[in-house]
Structure 1
Amino acid sequence: MTPLHSLAIEAGLQIDWEDAAGGPQHVADPALVAVLAALGLPADNAGVIEESRRLLAEDRAAGCSFVSADVAAAILLPAGCLDAGNAELVAEDGSRRSVTLTPVDGGLRMPPEATPGYYQLAQGARAIRLAIAPRRCFGIADAAGAARLWGTAVQIPGLRDATPRAFGDFGTLADGARRFAAAGADAVAISPVHALFPADASRYSPYAPSSRLFLNILYGDPALAGPQVDEAPSGELIDWSTAIPARLRVLRAAFEGRDASVREAVADYARAGGDELLRHARFDALHAHFFQATGATGWQGWPAEFHDPAGPAVARFAADHAEEVDFYLFCQWLAKRSLDAAQRSATDGGMALGLIADLAVGMDGGGSHAWSRRDDLLTGLSLGAPPDLLGPEGQSWGITGFSPRALQRTGFEPYIATLRAALDHAGGIRIDHALGLRRLWVVPEGASARDGAYLTMPLDDMLRILAIESHRARAVVIGEDLGTVPEGFRPKMDERGMLGMRVLPFERDQDGFIPPDRWSPEAAAMTGTHDLATVAGWWTGRDIDWNWDLGRTRAGSVEAEERATRAEERTLLWKAFTDAEITDAPEPSANDPTAAVDAALAFIAGTPCELAILPIEDLIGAVEQPNLPGTIDEHPNWRRRMPAPTSELLDRPEVARRVARINSMRNG
Structure 2
Amino acid sequence: MSREPLLALAQAVGVLVDWTDFNGVERQVGRATIEAVLAALGHDPKAPQETLARLGRRGRGGLMIVQAGAPFSVASASGHARLTLENGQTLDLAASDGQISVTIETPGYHWLDVDEQRLSLAVCPARCLTPRDLLGRPGWGLGVQLYALSDSGAFGDFSSLAAFAKAAGAAGADALAISPTNALFPAAPQRCSPYSPSSRDRLNIMFADPSSIGGTAPAATGEALIDWSASAAAKLARLNAAYHVFAGDPRLDDFIAAGGQALRRHALFEALDERFAPTFGAGNWRAWPAPFRSPQSAEREADALGLGDRIGFFLFAQWLADLGLAQSQAAAKAAGLGLGLITDLAVGLDPGGAHAWSRPQDLMMGLTLGAPPDAFQAAGQAWGITSFAPDALIEGSYEPFLTTLRAALGHAGGVRIDHALGLGRLWVVPDGGGADQGAYLRYPIDDLLSLIALESHRAGAVVIGEDLGVVPPGFRERLAERGLLGMRVLPFERDTDGGFRPPGEWDSLAVAMTSTHDLAPVAGWWRGRDIDWRRRLDAPGDRDAETLERAAERQAFWQAADHAGLTRAPPTATDAPQAADAADAAVDLALELVAATPCELALIPIEDLAGLDEAPNLPGVVDLHPNWRRRLPQPSPALLASPQVAARLERLRAQRPR
Whether these two folds match at TM > 0.5 is yes
Q: TM-score, normalised by structure 2?
A: 0.95
CA RMSD of aligned residues (A): 2.0
Consecutive unaligned residues of structure 2, counting only runs of 5 or more, are none
Farther off after superposition, 624-633 or 90-99: 90-99
For residue 353 of structure 1, what is the amino acid of its counterpart? L
The structure 2 residue matched to 1:304, chosen from 287, 290, 304, is 290
CA distance in 2, matches of 1:320, 1:95: 50
2:463 is matched with which residue? 477
8 Å contact from structure 2 (residues 33, 438) kept in 1: yes
2:532 is matched with which residue? 545
1:663 is matched with which residue? 653
CA 1:103–1:591: 2 relative to 1, 3 Å: farther
CA 1:572–1:485: 2 relative to 1, 3 Å: same
SS in 2 for 1:509: coil
**Residues 314-463 of structure 1: matches in 2 within 5 Å?**
314-317=300-303, 320-463=306-449
Alignment partner of 1:90 is 2:84: yes
The structure 2 residue matched to 1:248, chosen from 236, 251, 258, is 236
8 Å contact from structure 1 (residues 85, 102) kept in 2: yes
1:209 is matched with which residue? 197
CA distance in 2, matches of 1:378, 1:636: 30
Alignment partner of 1:135 is 2:126: yes
8 Å contact from structure 2 (residues 132, 138) kept in 1: no
For residue 442 of structure 1, what is the amino acid of its counterpart? V
Q: TM-score, normalised by structure 1?
A: 0.93
8 Å contact from structure 1 (residues 215, 332) kept in 2: yes
Alignment partner of 1:650 is 2:649: no
CA distance in 2, matches of 1:137, 1:284: 35
8 Å contact from structure 2 (residues 419, 467) kept in 1: yes
CA distance in 2, matches of 1:518, 1:231: 47
Deviations 1:168-211 (A, max 9, x none): 00000111110011111111100000111111122111111111
1:229 is matched with which residue? 217
For residue 558 of structure 1, what is the amino acid of its counterpart? D
SS in 1 for 2:512: strand
- Cα drift, residue 415 of structure 1: 0.9
1:515 is matched with which residue? 502
8 Å contact from structure 1 (residues 296, 302) kept in 2: no
8 Å contact from structure 1 (residues 493, 500) kept in 2: yes
SS in 2 for 1:406: helix
**Residues 545-624 of structure 1: matches in 2 within 5 Å?**
545-553=532-540, 557-587=541-571, 588=573, 589-592=576-579, 593-624=583-614
Deviations 1:271-315 (A, max 9, x none): 121111111111111111111344353221211111221226545
SS in 1 for 2:296: coil
**Residues 64-79 of structure 1: matches in 2 within 5 Å?**
65-75=62-72
CA 1:308–1:569: 2 relative to 1, 3 Å: same
- Cα drift, residue 316 of structure 1: 3.6
For residue 54 of structure 1, what is the amino acid of its counterpart? A
8 Å contact from structure 2 (residues 76, 115) kept in 1: no
2:174 is matched with which residue? 186
The structure 2 residue matched to 1:122, chosen from 94, 113, 135, is 113
CA 1:548–1:75: 2 relative to 1, 3 Å: farther
CA distance in 2, matches of 1:335, 1:199: 17
For residue 159 of structure 1, what is the amino acid of its counterpart? L
For residue 295 of structure 1, what is the amino acid of its counterpart? G
Consecutive unaligned residues of structure 1, counting only runs of 5 or more, are none
CA distance in 2, matches of 1:40, 1:183: 53
Number of aligned residue pairs: give it.
649
Deviations 1:573-620 (A, max 9, x none): 111111111104232231131111111111001111110000000001
Deviations 1:418-459 (A, max 9, x none): 111110110111011111111111111121111111111111
SS in 1 for 2:162: helix
CA 1:367–1:317: 2 relative to 1, 3 Å: farther
For residue 412 of structure 1, what is the amino acid of its counterpart? Y
CA distance in 2, matches of 1:208, 1:637: 13
1:27 is matched with which residue? 29
- Cα drift, residue 657 of structure 1: 1.2
Deviations 1:372-411 (A, max 9, x none): 1111111111111222345333221111111111111111
8 Å contact from structure 1 (residues 100, 111) kept in 2: no
2:20 is matched with which residue? 18
- Cα drift, residue 500 of structure 1: 0.7
SS in 2 for 1:271: helix
Deviations 1:360-382 (A, max 9, x none): 11111111111111111111111
Alignment partner of 1:38 is 2:49: no
CA 1:133–1:418: 2 relative to 1, 3 Å: same
- Cα drift, residue 15 of structure 1: 1.2
For residue 463 of structure 1, what is the amino acid of its counterpart? L
8 Å contact from structure 1 (residues 64, 128) kept in 2: no
For residue 91 of structure 2, what is the amino acid of its counterpart? R
8 Å contact from structure 2 (residues 93, 100) kept in 1: no
Alignment partner of 1:629 is 2:622: no
For residue 388 of structure 2, what is the amino acid of its counterpart? F
SS in 1 for 2:295: coil
CA 1:99–1:14: 2 relative to 1, 3 Å: farther
CA distance in 2, matches of 1:639, 1:271: 35
CA distance in 2, matches of 1:98, 1:372: 41
8 Å contact from structure 2 (residues 16, 442) kept in 1: yes
CA distance in 2, matches of 1:16, 1:415: 27
Deviations 1:117-164 (A, max 9, x none): 11233334544322111111112122111x221111100110112x3x
- Cα drift, residue 75 of structure 1: 2.4
8 Å contact from structure 1 (residues 534, 618) kept in 2: yes
CA distance in 2, matches of 1:637, 1:342: 25
CA distance in 1, matches of 2:551, 2:327: 46
CA 1:542–1:73: 2 relative to 1, 3 Å: same
8 Å contact from structure 2 (residues 77, 115) kept in 1: no
8 Å contact from structure 1 (residues 167, 234) kept in 2: no
- Cα drift, residue 24 of structure 1: 2.2
The structure 2 residue matched to 1:154, chosen from 127, 134, 144, is 144
CA 1:313–1:135: 2 relative to 1, 3 Å: closer
SS in 1 for 2:106: coil
For residue 72 of structure 1, what is the amino acid of its counterpart? G
CA 1:183–1:396: 2 relative to 1, 3 Å: same
The structure 2 residue matched to 1:527, chosen from 470, 495, 514, is 514
The share of aligned pairs that are identical, in percent, is 48
8 Å contact from structure 1 (residues 15, 453) kept in 2: yes
The structure 2 residue matched to 1:9, chosen from 8, 11, 15, is 11
Farther off after superposition, 444-453 or 324-333: 444-453
- Cα drift, residue 58 of structure 1: 2.5
1:56 is matched with which residue? 55
CA distance in 1, matches of 2:97, 2:193: 52
CA distance in 2, matches of 1:83, 1:458: 30
For residue 144 of structure 1, what is the amino acid of its counterpart? L
8 Å contact from structure 1 (residues 220, 331) kept in 2: yes
- Cα drift, residue 99 of structure 1: 3.4
